[in-house]
Structures are given as structure tokens and as C-alpha cells.
Structure 1
Amino acid sequence: MKRVLIVKVTSLGDIVQALPVVADIKRAFPEVQVDWAADEAFAEVAQWCRGVDRVLFAPLRRFKKARRWADFKSIAASISALRACRYDYILDIHGVYKSAIIAFLARSSRRIGYQSQDLGERGAAFAYTGRFGPRPRCNAWHGMRISAGEALGYEAEGPAVYNLHLPEPVRPLFRGEGAPVAALFHATSKDDKKWPVTHWMVVGRELTQRGFRVVLPWGSETERVVAEQIAAQVSGAAVLSRMSVTEIAQMIDACALVVGTDTGFVHLAHALQKPTVMIFVATSPSHCGVEAPFRSISVGDGFSVPPICDVLEAIDYVYGGLRAVTIQQGSAAA
């Protein structure tokens, strides 16, 4: 086997959590070339993965919104790049029309996708010459690893390996030295996933009392206004300037702690091995959550608003627990 194409088009958190499939494939087939097809908006995320050899992308989301001629030409050019080589396998681990179309246009006699009941859009089945087994009874992220292994004939073993390598920041991320930085990702794409603003204020004040510098990123004017409301009630908190995806990733990598809702950047914090607390209000933590001993934890049941005390306990677990493990490792090495 020489070439494999993985199709996972959107969104940020989903692409991040799919990246361990690359490490699994490279472990089973060290010489294989692994390419990735994504929407242009998230292509850089796949490019950060050391195991991805080539990222194919097009402005699919932008074209859907604006229907601009320049974007149509970019899509046409991306199809030529997509068909430039033949793949031994194409794995569509997205399962919707746009991912199926990409799989169908790429050159391969083995296009593998989910069974009909597991597809996000059942019509996507037209593109596939083979199917993954039934969706495993585990979280979505490990399920992708199992499905890819079934298709290519290996077992997904061990913890997820993301192999992320970010570009170096072009300027210092934070002014001053000393206090560890905690990023609060209060924003999310859906209102029902949000945690109350007053809860964020309490957590921000508690983190400040514990010696953290609190920073608040945002992506829209509405989110900026909320960030300023939180910062006004948290001594020393900083509302960051608007940043690109890469700049936010670099900011996360420089933080000592990340607390946020079920959103893509908090999944990225987990992948970057930062102490991470993910808050679930309306989505399933068992299906979409993060977990790593003394480092990442999901809070909430997905049906109600988690209380502040649960989030503070989770912060103690991931930050205090990680420091304890580090001290123990240092003592053992000495």
C-alpha cells in the first residue's frame, strides 16, 4: 500500500480529534503516504500534523455562503489536485454529501465509508465501494480510529497520538512574565451549549485568586462583548485581540490551563496536551468528550448546566494533578 486519502472536511474539533488516525496508519504502514482532504477554513489544522504528507483543500464553506466566482475556480483547481494521483484506499470518516463527493472524485477503486445508519447524510452512500463495520460502542473519536483500522487491517491500540507541530509565533504572545495563564473559552457555535456568563465570572475570579492570569479569546463581536463583561468582573483579566486559527492555537500552547465549552479550540487544547476542562451543557460528554489522566476531563451530563463547584474541582484535578505527577517524575529521575 502506497497512498491513503482521509476525508474529514470540517469542523475544527472534529478534524483535531480525527488526527490520531494518521498516527495509527503510519504505525501499521510506515512507508505509506497519507493525504487529507478538508475545507480551506480548517486545512492548516491538518497541516500541523507531522504524519500528514499532503493536505488538499477548497473553500467549500465560503462558496456555499457567497457563491463567488473566485471560490468556484479554487474548487475546480482543487479537484485537479485531488485527481493528480491514485489512492490505494480512501477513508471517508466524515459521512456527509460533501465528503462523499470528494471521495467519489478522487481516484481509487476502494472508497470506504460508514454504514447507512451511521452516516450524517444517508445519501452519501452513493460514493462508497465498501463500508466500515457498525459504529463501535465508544466515543466518536476512538470510533474513528477503530473504523479506519478495520478498513485497512490493523488494530487501533494505545492512547491517541496527535503529533501536532505548530509554527513559531511571530511575536510574544503575552506581555510580562511570571503568573501562569488560563484561557477561558466561553463562546460556542450554539446557544444551548453555552455556560452562564455569571459562572464564568466566578471561575475567572477564583483562578485569579489562585495566581493565574486570565485571558479571554473571542471570534465575533457578540463574543467580544461577552468577553468584556466577564473581564470587567475578573481583576487583571485580558480580552485578547481578534486572532487567526493559528494564532489562537499558539496562544493555547503557551497557556498553563484551558477551560471552555464543547468547542473546537478546547479539543485542540486537549490535543496539545494542555491541562484542559471541557464543559458540557447540551452535548454528550460520553460521545464527544475528552479525557486523559490528570490532564483532561469533561464536566457535565449534557442535559443540564454543570455547577460551578464541579468545574472548580475539575480544574484542581487537571492542574493540581498534573503538577503532582510532574513532581513525582522529577523525584524519581533524581
Structure 2
Amino acid sequence: MRIAIVKLSALGDIVHAMIVLQFIKRHLPSSTIDWVVEEGFSSLLMNNLDINEIHTVSIKRAKKDKSFKVLFQTLSVLRKLTKYDIVIDMQGLVKSAIVAKIIPSDKTFGFDKGALREAFAAFFYSDTCHIKYSENVIKRNAFLISSALAVPISHDNILNKQPFLHFNNKVESCFLQNSKVNIAFVPGASFISKIYPAEKFGQLAQALDANITILWGDKKERLMAEKIQNIAPKVALINKVSLDELKAIIGQMDMVIGGDTGPVHMAWALNIPSITLFGSTPSYRNTYLTNINHVIASNSLVNPNKIDKNDFSIQDIKVTEIALKVKELLAQPDQLNRE
């Protein structure tokens, strides 16, 4: 069977979708699985042996540059792909549904209109399935693949998953220490109400007896990282890294702490202990709890259908609560064994 998966962006969303690959290959070992993704995220998928080919699109660049030429070129390439037995849109947006429709195939599969934030996307699918939009995203992804391919994916399967982010980079481990627990802080996020205050990250760093590295991706996040370091000079700032290097760094950590953002979800994908902080986004929907992957959420009542970006309740999470959760995880050495 020739399968094309459409999941264009963003970092955390792609990670949450990649979980299905190992289960498809387990039940359909001779299948071909290709993935269609925005060009900026292609390296996240690289080196995964369950993916045969990665096809990139430049829709974001076309929009940014207001270039119909770039858009036409990227869509034209998709039209010329070898025909697939099925194209599965795991994004569920109108733009991804159009991409799925353009790719030559016998069947296009996605969520029905009642399961989508952009209901019109369902118009472009030949076959659909239904699960509540408010349901956990990883459960939604598993249900979509199970419905499309008759591949069973259970809760226990997900809990016992194999790490599924792979990398070539040999990142220097000079920022790691053998005598202390190595923890990465991720202060940035896609919008401001998902960001935990730098002052409190600094206080957390002071409260923990750990070797702490701060990960950042742009100038604003660099400033947050420097603010944390000013409060807790012992923390280390690494230079800006590529996605492939980021995978390698997170894969060497003992724990990752941050908001509802891609690098923290990457820790889950790599079976690295993590604490995800939630305020304006729903914790029950945006991560998958395990023995080593925990969440701390504010008391805010979140509507997953309409995120309130003016909800800054993440700032109310106490530093002492996070520190206690760190100690709780570290008190389970068997859970930190990643062999």
C-alpha cells in the first residue's frame, strides 16, 4: 500500500502525528509511507526509517512573500507525484485538505466536519471519520489512522512506544554534567500567553540542585534566556541550533521543562521525562500523560474550540509546585531509565 500523510506544521503538531508511523509499519510492514510537510519542518522528519520520502511545500513562504508563483510551483510538484492508494490529512485545515486533494490518489481521508475547527476542510475528502475535536490530539491521530488503515493503536501501544525522533548530529556534550541531573528549560512558545515568566524560571533554577541548560529559537527567546541567566547565573545558554541538533540535545537530557510548545513535546517523543506547563491551552488535549511525562495546569477553564490568548493564568503556577514535581519524577529512578 502506498500511503501519503499530510501534516504541514507546526513543530509540536508534527511530533504528535509522527507517533502513528511505527504502528502503521508494525501492521503494514511492506507499505510505503511518504510525508508532506512545510519546508521549514522537514528536518524534524529526517532519519525516521518508517518514512520513505519527505515531500516539502512552501505555502508559508508563498504567503509571507505574497507570491502566487511560489504557491503554483509547490502545488504543481504535488500534482506530479506517483499515485497513492490513500492520502491522509492529519492536519484538518482547509489548506492541508486542498494539498491532500491535489495529490493523485484513490482515496483522500480525514476528519468529518463535526470533528474539525475548519469544517469546510471535510469537503475535500472522499472518506471521513468522527471523533470529538476536544479529544486528546494523540488519541485523535491514532483514531484517524486506525479508521483509515484498519491499524489498531491502543493506549498501551502509545505508552510503550519506541522513541521516534532520530538525528545525525553529534552534538558536543560539554553542557552536560555527570554529577548532576541535566535539565533543559524551554522558555519560549508560539504565543505569549503560553509562556511561563522568565523571573519564575530563574527562581526555579535557583531552587533545583541540577545542571540547567536553556533552549531558545529566536531573538525574543534569547532575551528570555538571558533574563533567566541574570537571576540564576549557574544556568547555561547554548547557541542557536538546528532542528536536527535540537533533537540530539533533548535526547541527552534527563528532563525537559517548559510550556505547551514543540521542544517539550519532543521530549515525550524521545521518551525523556518532561513537565509541561499549561495555562491558556488545554492540558488534557495537548499532551499524553505517562509515568515520566507530567503536566502542571493553571485553574483556567479552557475551551479548545476557542483559545483565549489573553488568558495569562500560566503565570499563576507556583515555582514550588514545579520543583516538587521535579523531585517526584527524580525519585523514580526506574522511570528515568531510557535504555
TM-score above 0.5:
yes
2:62 maps to 1:51: no
Counterpart in the other structure of 1:66: 65
C-alpha contact 1:92 1:112 (8 A) present in aligned 2: yes
Structure showing greater relative contact order (alpha-carbon pairs closer than 8 Å, 6 or more residues apart)? 2
**SS of residue matched to 1:309:** helix
Q: CA RMSD in A?
A: 2.4
CA gap 1:176/1:279 in 2 versus in 1, 3 angstroms: closer
**SS of residue matched to 1:298:** strand
The equivalences for 1:98-113 within 5 A come to: 98-113=95-110
The residue type paired with residue 45 of structure 1 is: L
**Aligned-partner Cα distance in 2 for 1:12–1:222:** 18
CA gap 1:45/1:325 in 2 versus in 1, 3 angstroms: closer
Q: How big is the shift at 1:290?
A: 3.1
Q: How big is the shift at 1:20?
A: 1.6
Counterpart in the other structure of 1:256: 254
CA gap 1:73/1:192 in 2 versus in 1, 3 angstroms: same
Counterpart in the other structure of 1:307: 318
CA gap 1:193/1:326 in 2 versus in 1, 3 angstroms: closer
C-alpha contact 1:182 1:255 (8 A) present in aligned 2: yes
**Aligned-partner Cα distance in 1 for 2:117–2:133:** 16
The equivalences for 1:166-315 within 5 A come to: 166-175=166-175, 177-178=177-178, 179-207=180-208, 210=209, 212-293=210-291, 295-301=292-298, 303=300, 304=313, 305-315=316-326
Q: Percent identity, aligned pairs only? A: 22
The residue type paired with residue 141 of structure 2 is: M
C-alpha contact 2:165 2:269 (8 A) present in aligned 1: no
Q: Which runs of 5+ in 1 are unaligned?
A: none
Q: How big is the shift at 1:175?
A: 4.5
Q: How big is the shift at 1:110?
A: 1.1
Q: How big is the shift at 1:46?
A: 2.1
Q: How many residues align?
A: 321
Greater alpha carbon shift after TM alignment, 173-182 vs 95-104: 173-182
**SS of residue matched to 1:230:** helix
C-alpha contact 1:58 1:74 (8 A) present in aligned 2: no
CA gap 1:324/1:235 in 2 versus in 1, 3 angstroms: farther
**SS of residue matched to 2:157:** coil
**Aligned-partner Cα distance in 1 for 2:171–2:150:** 45
**SS of residue matched to 1:159:** helix
C-alpha contact 2:258 2:275 (8 A) present in aligned 1: yes
Residue deviations 1:212-257, cap 9 Å, x none?
2211121221211111111111132112211222222211112121
Counterpart in the other structure of 2:327: 316
Q: How big is the shift at 1:136?
A: 7.7
C-alpha contact 1:192 1:281 (8 A) present in aligned 2: yes
**Aligned-partner Cα distance in 2 for 1:301–1:316:** 20
Q: TM-score, normalised by structure 1?
A: 0.88
Moved over 6 A (4+): none
Residue deviations 1:273-292, cap 9 Å, x none?
11111000111001112311
**Aligned-partner Cα distance in 2 for 1:238–1:308:** 20
Greater alpha carbon shift after TM alignment, 175-184 vs 46-55: 175-184
**Aligned-partner Cα distance in 2 for 1:235–1:166:** 32
Counterpart in the other structure of 1:116: 113
**Aligned-partner Cα distance in 2 for 1:28–1:253:** 27
C-alpha contact 2:108 2:125 (8 A) present in aligned 1: yes
The residue type paired with residue 37 of structure 1 is: V
C-alpha contact 1:5 1:89 (8 A) present in aligned 2: yes
Counterpart in the other structure of 2:309: none
C-alpha contact 2:255 2:274 (8 A) present in aligned 1: yes
C-alpha contact 2:116 2:133 (8 A) present in aligned 1: no
**SS of residue matched to 1:101:** helix
Q: How big is the shift at 1:324?
A: 4.1
The residue type paired with residue 31 of structure 1 is: S
C-alpha contact 1:89 1:112 (8 A) present in aligned 2: yes
